[in-house]
């Protein structure tokens, strides 16, 4: 199977089959991302928004993750077309765009993943055009009350791959804070609203979670892609657990 066939197949089947599990890569070290991918995660999210890495690292990260058999996704720093195209040029199978609140914003980001006449993406010489470039490759993040209110319009945007819930920012937007309780009514209702909108539109429902218990809940609510914590958080937790066992 060629790389192109692998990417197209993964993207095209993301709405179907068993839940896919992933985590965020925030360390500026591709070896850490490779170790995480080796544990069997289906995807890793290279985090350019909050992570300790820069654009110069992205191609190395995507290759390291891909070579182990996981899908490299890239969260871009902000909702701008240049960042979206650049992430794809550097090997991202799909991009994750933060803080989207309207259908029009989502349309602009989807257009940034597609070449003319369908979209606005500029051709980059690092990777030649491929069949994967015609696939849906854009996740948009819904992280605010406004985004939830407009999620049906967002999920219905032509060419979108899916909607990715950022639950911590959503908790802040709802006024309950960043340390949300799983099952808190207003928070949980907002999350279910996104999952339901994705199901109606036939696109991927994705979400970040803070624990395996929460991840299991979100999968049961219909989320197709579930990210669990980050490499940094998992390292911190493992170190604390080991030390507490001997002290």
Whether 124 has a pLDDT exceeding 90, the answer reads no
Checking 10-17 for CB contacts under 8 A at 24+ apart, the result is 10/71, 10/93, 11/93, 11/94, 11/132, 11/135, 11/136, 11/137, 11/161, 12/135, 14/161, 14/162, 14/204, 14/224, 14/225, 15/162, 15/202, 15/203, 15/204, 15/224
When pLDDT is cut at 50, 70 and 90, the band that residue 128 belongs to is low
Q: Is the pLDDT of residue 127 over 70?
A: no
For residue 54, the enclosing domain spans 3-246
Segment 48-88, tens digit of pLDDT: 999 999 999 999 999 999 999 999 999 999 999 999 999 99
Total structural domains in the chain?
A: 1
pLDDT level of residue 23 (50, 70, 90 thresholds) = very high
CATH number, domain containing residue 67: 3.20.20.60
Confidence of residue 189 (pLDDT cuts 50, 70, 90): very high
pLDDT of residue 132: 65
Question: What is the band of 3 on the pLDDT scale with cuts at 50, 70, 90?
Answer: confident
CA 218/CA 133 separation, integer angstroms? 30
208 DSSP β-pair partners: 227
Mean pLDDT along residues 192-221: 98
pLDDT at 131 over 70: no
pLDDT of residue 1: 77
Determine the average pLDDT of the residues in 231-245: 95
Highest mean pLDDT, choosing among 1-15, 131-145, 175-189 = 175-189
Quote the distance between the C-alpha of residue 161 and its chain's center: 10
Q: Is 16 a catalytic residue?
A: no
Does an H or E element contain 148, and which?
helix 145-149
**Structure confidence at residue 2 as a pLDDT band (50, 70, 90):** confident
User: Whole-angstrom distance between the N-terminal and C-terminal Cα of the chain?
Assistant: 50
**Residue 117 preceded by cis peptide, ω within 30:** yes
Q: Please report the pLDDT score of residue 152 as a whole number.
A: 99
Active-site pick, 50, 129, 192, 236: 50
Q: pLDDT at position 177, please?
A: 93
pLDDT above 80 for 125: no
Q: Quickly count: other Cβ atoms within 10 Å of residue 239's Cβ.
A: 10
The reported pLDDT for the residue numbered 126 is 66
What's residue 15's pLDDT?
87
What confidence tens digit (pLDDT) does each residue in 90-105 have? 999 999 999 999 999 9
User: Burial level of 166, CB count in 10 A (0-12/13-18/19+)?
Assistant: buried
> What mean pLDDT do residues 1-27 have?
91
Q: Does pLDDT of 129 surpass 90? A: no
- Taking residue 235's Cβ as centre, other Cβ atoms within 10 Å add up to 15
| Residue 85 three-state SS | helix
The residue count for the chain: 247
- Cβ atoms of 132 and 115 within 8 Å: the answer is no
What's residue 89's pLDDT?
Answer: 93
User: Encoding tokens for residue 68?
Assistant: 């182990």
Check residue 1 and report its DSSP letter: -
- Rounded to the nearest integer, the mean pLDDT of the chain is 94
Query: Residue 106 phi/psi, 5° resolution?
Result: -65, -40
Rg (CA), the chain: 17
């Amino acid at each position: 199977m060629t790389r192109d066939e692998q990417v197209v197949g993964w993207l095209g089947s993301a709405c179907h089959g068993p839940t896919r599990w992933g985590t965020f890569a925030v360390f500026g070290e591709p070896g850490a991302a490779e170790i995480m991918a080796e544990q069997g995660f289906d995807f890793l999210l290279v985090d350019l928004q909050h992570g300790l890495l820069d654009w110069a690292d992205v191609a190395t990260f995507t290759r390291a993750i891909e070579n182990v058999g996981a899908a490299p996704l890239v969260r871009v720093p902000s909702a701008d077309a240049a960042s979206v195209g650049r992430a794809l040029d550097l090997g991202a199978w799909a991009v994750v765009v933060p803080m989207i609140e309207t259908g029009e914003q989502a349309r602009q980001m989807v257009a940034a993943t597609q070449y003319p006449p369908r979209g606005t993406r500029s051709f980059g010489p690092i990777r030649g055009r491929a069949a994967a470039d015609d696939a849906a490759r854009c996740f948009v993040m819904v992280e605010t009350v406004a985004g939830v209110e407009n999620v049906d319009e967002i999920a219905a945007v032509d060419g979108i791959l899916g909607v990715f819930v950022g639950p911590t920012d959503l908790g802040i937007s709802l006024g309950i804070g960043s340390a949300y309780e799983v099952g808190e009514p207003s928070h949980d209702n907002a999350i279910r609203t996104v999952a339901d909108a994705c199901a109606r539109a036939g696109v991927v429902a994705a979400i970040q979670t803070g624990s395996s218990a929460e991840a299991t809940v979100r999968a049961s609510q219909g989320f197709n892609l579930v990210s669990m914590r980050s490499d940094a958080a998992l390292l911190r937790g493992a170190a604390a657990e080991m030390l507490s066992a001997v002290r």
